[in-house]
Amino acid sequence: MGRTFMSPRLGVRDVADRWARSARALKKEDQKYGKALADMAKEHSSEAFVACNDPLEAATFSVLVEILKRQERLEAEMKADVDP
């Protein structure tokens, strides 16, 4: 019999599900951040699979892309507030 390997897409979903469960173990005020990370992990999972065979790497890559997008958006908003 051959081995069965989990696809990276299913692997990312499993990672995100574990992160969501872990978020519930955090202090109440931190739980929303844990849930946000779990949600971010799923955001770019399809694109990340092209180059990432490891589900954790794909999930981390997705989260980092979302964090950078949010940072850029905030910086643009701050700049718009300063410019007349």
- Give the pLDDT confidence of 23-76 residue by residue, as tens digits: 999 999 999 999 999 999 888 767 666 778 888 888 898 899 999 999 999 999
Q: What's the confidence (pLDDT) of residue 73?
A: 94
Q: What's the confidence (pLDDT) of residue 45?
A: 62
**1 domain residue, yes or no:** no
User: Domain count of the chain?
Assistant: 1
**70 domain residue, yes or no:** yes
The domain in which residue 30 lies consists of 8-82
**69 domain residue, yes or no:** yes
pTM above 0.85, yes or no: no
**47 domain residue, yes or no:** yes
Buried b (16+ CB within 10 A) or exposed e, 40-64: bbbbbbeebbeebeebebbbbbbbe
* Residue 80 scores a pLDDT above 60: yes
Q: What's the confidence (pLDDT) of residue 51?
A: 77
**3 domain residue, yes or no:** no
**27 domain residue, yes or no:** yes
